[in-house]
Amino acid sequence: MDTILYPDFLEDITSYQAAIDFWQAKLDPLFREFGLSKQDYLNTIMVNGVSLHDGNPIYQAYFPELKKAVRIIQEEPILPADFGSWVNLTEVDEEEVEELVISLVLTEDNVERAGEEIRKWLVTPTEPC
């Protein structure tokens, strides 16, 4: 059985931050490999100044050079094999961009699958909006 990583991330802020750090350590080198600069594009802070800790997004990156974005939604670990992905159109700085959304339970297998999908998607030309 595939091990669930940070299974208590929704209940424990330390575990939540560890999951964020995990994704950064896994994905940031990939984006550097492609020579991409990244920036956040989603607001994860509520009006009262409190950060959202619901797993959506657990990781986000916008690539101005490509006019593409990636959002990882980390789900509550009910079904370890849970994995889905799709492409949305979203707006960043008043410009429509393609957003690859990956929704998953954090396991080693799903991390590898997400990395493969992101890698393929980064080299696929953007469709005209």
The pLDDT tens digits of the residues spanning 102-122 come to 999 999 999 999 999 999 999
pLDDT of residue 127: 63
pLDDT of residue 26: 96
Burial class (CB in 10 A: 0-12, 13-18, 19+), 37: exposed
**DSSP state, residue 126:** P
| Distance from C-alpha of 97 to C-alpha of 88, rounded to nearest angstrom | 8
With residues binned 3-state (H G I as helix, E B as strand, rest as coil), the percentages for the chain, rounded to 5, are: 30, 30, 45
**Is 110 in contact with 4 (CB distance < 8 Å)?**
no
| Distance from C-alpha of 21 to C-alpha of 93, rounded to nearest angstrom | 26
Residue-range domain boundaries for the chain = 13-123
pLDDT of residue 61: 96
Average pLDDT over residues 93-101: 94
Q: 128: pLDDT confidence band, cut at 50, 70 and 90?
A: low
**pLDDT of 28-83, one tens digit each?**
999 999 999 999 999 888 888 888 899 999 999 999 999 999 999 999 998 778 99
